[in-house]
Amino acid sequence: MITLKNIHKVFDTGKAKIEALKGVDLTIDAGEVYGIIGLSGAGKSTLVRCINMLEQPTTGEVIVDEQDFTKLDAKELRMARRKIGMIFQHFNLLWSRTVYGNIAFPLEIAGVPNDKIRPKVLELLRLVALEDKVDSYPAQLSGGQKQRVGIARALANDPTVLLCDEATSALDPDTTAAILRLLQDINQKLNLTIVVITHEMHVIKQICDRVAVIDDGKVIEEGPVIDIFTNPVSAVTRRFINSVVKTEVPQVIKDRQIELQSSGDPAKIIRISFIGQAAGEPVISQLVKDFHVRANVLYGNIDHIKETIYGTLTLELTGESEALEQALSFLQQQNLQTEVLHHV
Ligand SMILES: Nc1ncnc2c1ncn2[C@@H]1O[C@H](COP(=O)(O)OP(=O)(O)OP(=O)(O)O)[C@@H](O)[C@H]1O
């Protein structure tokens, strides 16, 4: 659906050359919700703007529906861009137009006859649950309502792709959740491909199928969201995951470790991550029975990533060194992600 091949983008400010993208390759499938996450300045906005050629890549190919956007002339590009809607952090609405006028605007530009515009605008307003605001002006709307208008406007020309550039970053948590649910609903109803740019891992967790982590203009990690959550490789990705899943060992437990250490009892603090079916298996009781270790539950958390159950359990294991090693290798054989957080 969308293929980015070896995208480089250099901004020449006259004084300096800034290499914002350093060879990005990505493939986004039709109908999926694809997340791109990165810290400020990583190159996310530049990347998403290359997809609809608001930003021309310095080199590389942008292929959408088998059409290489970098090879199109201005008129062809204008037509091709209708396949791609976009929403923004600050909504970018026209303040002098009503809700109706904002949503009608892209249809007017596309030359849609007047008698076709009204039913289309009303259909879009129903889709985003904003029928009662048809004659309001943007200044009379809440942030969430403004973003709903942004979404309706972005969908006016029946695009196959929706780009969301930090679309919920200016919204409170409840409104964010409602907008994300709306995006998910639209993705399913219209089979729309959605690309979400964010610096917030909870956004990725709530709606994305796959995610790319971008850092310093490069994709450093990519894959299904559940895999990235259970097996992050880079330090940047771990930091993002730590923001939504508690992974730091609290100080009170570290202090307790120091006490244990002085009593001479070998111990490890481990975190087990489990997904789907593994959650129902009696692994811990087997661990204690077969390996002569003691397991003390420090904390646990069950969550879901889209429809997949995902949990973590932090345990303190104590016992003879050899028994601890055997217990760890048993856990690893159970298809559970096991990580030692702290050794004594
Ligand atoms: N028009 C421009 N001219 C010069 N440099 C630019 C321009 N746009 C972006 N950059 C630079 O390119 C790099 C990537 O910026 P970009 O906005 O893509 O990052 P980002 O990940 O979206 O960050 P943020 O989350 O803060 O918006 C930054 O160093 C930025 O300063």
Calculate how far, in angstroms, residue 186's C-alpha sits from the geometric centre of ligand 1.
29
The pLDDT value recorded for residue 344 is: 66
- Average pLDDT, stretch 88-108? 95
pLDDT tens per residue, range 36-45: 999 999 999 9
pLDDT tens per residue, range 157-187: 999 999 999 999 999 999 999 999 999 999 9
Nearest alpha carbon, ligand 1 atom 31: 41
The pLDDT value recorded for residue 342 is: 73
Tokens of 305: 């990533």
Nearest alpha carbon, ligand 1 atom 4: 11
Which has the higher per-residue pLDDT, 277 or 33? 33
The pLDDT value recorded for residue 19 is: 95
- Average pLDDT, stretch 309-333? 84
Phi/psi for 82 (5° steps) reads -65, -20
Residue 87: exposed, middle, or buried by beta-carbon count in 10 A (0-12, 13-18, 19+)? buried
The pLDDT value recorded for residue 215 is: 95
Q: How confident is the model at residue 300 (pLDDT cuts 50, 70, 90)?
A: confident
- Average pLDDT, stretch 310-337? 83
What SS3 class is residue 32?
coil
CB 31 within 8 A of CB 193: yes
Nearest alpha carbon, ligand 1 atom 16: 43
Which of these, 241, 234, 239, 250, lies nearest to 273 by C-alpha position?
241
Which has the higher per-residue pLDDT, 4 or 281? 4
Nearest-atom number in ligand 1 for the CA of 18 is 5
Contacts of 339 (CB under 8 A, 6+ apart): 270, 271, 273
Calculate how far, in angstroms, residue 17's C-alpha sits from the geometric centre of ligand 1.
12
The pLDDT value recorded for residue 274 is: 76
The pLDDT value recorded for residue 281 is: 60
The pLDDT value recorded for residue 132 is: 95
| SS3 of the chain: helix, strand, coil, percent, to 5 | 40, 30, 30
Helix (H) or strand (E) holding 79, with range, is helix 74-80
Residue 250 has pLDDT above 70, yes or no: no
The pLDDT value recorded for residue 282 is: 75
Average pLDDT, the chain: 89
Residue 15 has pLDDT above 80, yes or no: yes
Distance of alpha carbon 339 from alpha carbon 323, whole angstroms = 17
CB 340 within 8 A of CB 272: no
The pLDDT value recorded for residue 283 is: 79
CB-based pocket (< 6 A), ligand 1: 11, 13, 18, 20, 38, 40-46, 199
Calculate how far, in angstroms, residue 19's C-alpha sits from the geometric centre of ligand 1.
10
Nearest-atom number in ligand 1 for the CA of 197 is 22
Residue 220 has pLDDT above 70, yes or no: yes
What SS3 class is residue 296?
strand
Phi/psi-derived region of residue 333, left when phi > 0, alpha when psi is between -120 and 50, beta in every other case: alpha
Nearest alpha carbon, ligand 1 atom 12: 20
Say how many C-beta atoms besides its own lie within 10 A of residue 66's C-beta.
7
Calculate how far, in angstroms, residue 217's C-alpha sits from the geometric centre of ligand 1.
10
The least confident of 51-55, 69-73, 299-303 is 299-303
Residue 213 has pLDDT above 70, yes or no: yes
Calculate how far, in angstroms, residue 168's C-alpha sits from the geometric centre of ligand 1.
19
pTM of the model: 0.84
- Average pLDDT, stretch 26-32? 96
Q: How far is CA 241 from CA 16, 45, 306, in A?
A: 34, 21, 15
**Residue 27 forms beta bridges with which residues?**
3
The least confident of 210-214, 304-308, 317-321 is 304-308
Q: How confident is the model at residue 264 (pLDDT cuts 50, 70, 90)?
A: low
Calculate how far, in angstroms, residue 266's C-alpha sits from the geometric centre of ligand 1.
49
